[in-house]
Amino acid sequence: MERLLTLIVLTAITKDINKSVNLVQQVYGDVPKQLDLSIKARQPKDKPMSKREELENTLSELKSKRVKTKVDKQNIYTLEQVIKNMP
C-alpha cells in the first residue's frame, strides 16, 4: 500500500508514469503488482462538428452571457455576419 501511494504521489509530481515507476523501482526494488500502467487515449467524438455548428454554438454562448462587454458585442455582431454569409 505504501508503494502504491508513493507511486501515485510521484506521478502527480513528475507528470510522467515511466519516471515515477523507475523511482519506485529504485527505492523499493519492484513495482506494485496491482498497478495497471496502460494509458488509455480518449476516444474521438462520433461526428465532428461543422464550422457552422461551431460558430452557432459560440454565438449562443456569447448571447447567453448575463453581462456582455464591448468586445462580446462586437464578437456577436461579427459571428452573426459570418454565419449569415456562409453558404
pLDDT in tens, 43-70: 666 677 788 999 999 999 999 999 999 9
4/31: higher pLDDT? 4
Supply the pTM of this predicted model: 0.46
Question: Angle at Cα 78 formed by Cα 72 and Cα 82, nearest 5°?
Answer: 140
In the chain, where the domains are located: 1-37, 51-84
The predicted pLDDT at position 40 comes to 63
Give the pLDDT confidence of 14-51 residue by residue, as tens digits. Answer: 888 888 888 777 777 765 555 555 666 666 666 777 88
The predicted pLDDT at position 74 comes to 95
